[in-house]
Amino acid sequence: MAHPLVKQLRFARSEFKRCLEGISDEDSRKRILPMNCMSWMVGHLAAQEQYYFVFFPQGSVPHPQLNHLVGFGHPATTPPLDEMWQVWNDITAVADKFLDTLTEEQLDIYLEQDIKGYEASLFGMVSKKVLEQESVLSGESVGTRILRTTYHYFFHTGEAHAIRQQLGHPDLPYFVGGMPDDLFLT
């Protein structure tokens, strides 16, 4: 059974997906400044999961293009929604392989990974000094990264909901939706 923090992350994912249900590619790519577009948000959250839950614990980078396309500090983009959902689905499936194995004790671990692949996986910029190292230690524990990602999903859910309101979308869902009874149980 998944750890309660993992269940909460999955609930945050489901609320994000629910917020974007039925949105067209055209609307998903509209930017209401200074916000990014909704398709960017999908890829952006996938990039974070790739960095936290795929690269560090598993050493792989299934979608190395993500940082340049939707990473923090890079120029704004308006990628196709279906491509971003495909990338998001790919990454969250791989991330879940790690997340499903977590125990209470492992939440306090700071993961370390060989430097190979780090630049491609990084959510942001990386210095040459860092790349000269043999390995890199994660900046936060596994548990903190799960929480940070959960809160990040809710931030972008609210932002996407605001964009949809600005675009005049009718019948938007209410948030936070139905919560499973076992969300906080071990």
Q: pLDDT by residue (tens digit) across 86-95?
A: 999 999 999 9
pLDDT at 182 over 90: no
Long-range residue pairs from 92-96, CB within 8 A, at least 24 positions apart, any chain: 92/13, 92/46, 92/49, 94/53, 94/54, 94/58, 94/60, 94/62, 95/49, 95/50, 95/52, 95/53, 95/54
Residue 84 lies in a domain: yes
Residue 121 lies in a domain: yes
pLDDT of residue 134: 77
Report pLDDT digits (tens) over 140-164: 999 999 999 999 999 999 999 999 9
> Out of 75-84, 147-156, 176-185, which region has the weakest mean confidence (pLDDT)?
176-185
Residue 176 lies in a domain: no
Query: The domain spanning residue 51 has which CATH number?
Result: 1.20.120.450
Residue 174 lies in a domain: no
Query: What is the span of the domain harbouring residue 117?
Result: 4-166
Question: Are the C-beta atoms of 1 and 143 separated by less than 8 Å?
Answer: no
pLDDT at 185 over 90: no
DSSP state of 106: G
146 Cα distance to chain centroid: 10
| Count of structural domains, the chain | 1
Give the H or E element holding residue 183.
none
pLDDT at 114 over 90: no
Mean pLDDT of 20-33: 96
First to last CA, the chain: 7
Residue 172 lies in a domain: no
In angstroms, the CA 57 to CA 117 distance is: 13
DSSP state of 113: E
pLDDT of residue 186: 52
Residue 151 lies in a domain: yes
In angstroms, the CA 14 to CA 76 distance is: 25
Q: Measure Cα distances from 46 to 11, 83, 92, 130, 186 in Å.
A: 15, 12, 7, 23, 26
Residue 16 lies in a domain: yes
Joined tokens for residue 133: 């190292």
Report pLDDT digits (tens) over 52-79: 999 999 999 999 889 889 988 888 999 9
